[in-house]
Chains A and B, each alone.
Chain A
Amino acid sequence: NAGVTQTPKFQVLKTGQSMTLQCAQDMNHNSMYWYRQDPGMGLRLIYYSASEGTTDKGEVPNGYNVSRLNKREFSLRLESAAPSQTSVYFCASDRGETQYFGPGTRLLVL
């Protein structure tokens, strides 16, 4: 039982490049989330998916898109990366009010 997994662990991009961050959970949870974490700002919600086939914007959705591919997988796409998107990205899924987080993806945009 791996919990929540994320790939890649690290990525360096140039401004304007695109990439997709992958997330998968094996706990049969309905809801999944994408957060970004920046120093002194806690975790900010980018997008979430309450169930397979639905997605909604969070607090900071600009510059991102998501896909809930199936119940297990929830991907985050940066179409044209900007230096302001340098951050650590966490995926999470939940059962009730407990969220389970992946190990994170560290992204540097030059």
Chain B
Amino acid sequence: TQLLEQSPQFLSIQEGENLTVYCNSSSVFSSLQWYRQEPGEGPVLLVTVVTGGEVKKLKRLTFQFGDARKDSSLHITAAQPGDTGLYLCAGGSNQGGKLIFGQGTELSVKP
């Protein structure tokens, strides 16, 4: 069974700080996705990484896929209150579009 371990589970920081969220597995994934979910809504895709070692940037967010395609990280620079939410990583398998989700990281950025 493929599992994704996400850490930390909770993160509370002040505006302007940097943070990193990790997503680790012993399994290889064909792709790794990061979603953001706000209260009362469904997850929304932020980025997909598919190549080992790939780095993608989305404004202040930097996403990296591990060389062996077993892990990923999300780094936020100078966090803002608008970044508050639940961040989920999800691994793609070779079984069609099925995804394996991590447990999520609840981020709170205080002004």
* Residues of A in contact with B (beta carbons under 8 Å apart): 4, 31, 33, 35, 40-45, 48, 50, 58, 90, 92, 94, 96-104
Contact = CB atoms under 8 A, between A and B. Distances in A.
A50 B9 contact: no
B103 A31 contact: no
A4 B45 CA distance: 14
Contacts of A43: 43, 88, 90, 101
13 contacts: A40-B104, A42-B6, A42-B104, A43-B88, A45-B99, A50-B97, A90-B43, A97-B48, A97-B97, A98-B33, A101-B43, A103-B41, A104-B42
B96 interface: yes
Interface residues of B, number: 23
A42 to B, nearest CB: 4
Interface string B92-110: 1000111101111000000
Main secondary structure of the interface of A (DSSP, over half): strand
Contacts of A40: 9, 103-104
A103 B90 CA distance: 18
Contacts of A102: 42
B42 A101 contact: yes
Given A97-B48, A97-B92, A42 B98 contact: no
A96 B103 CA distance: 23
A42 B92 CA distance: 15
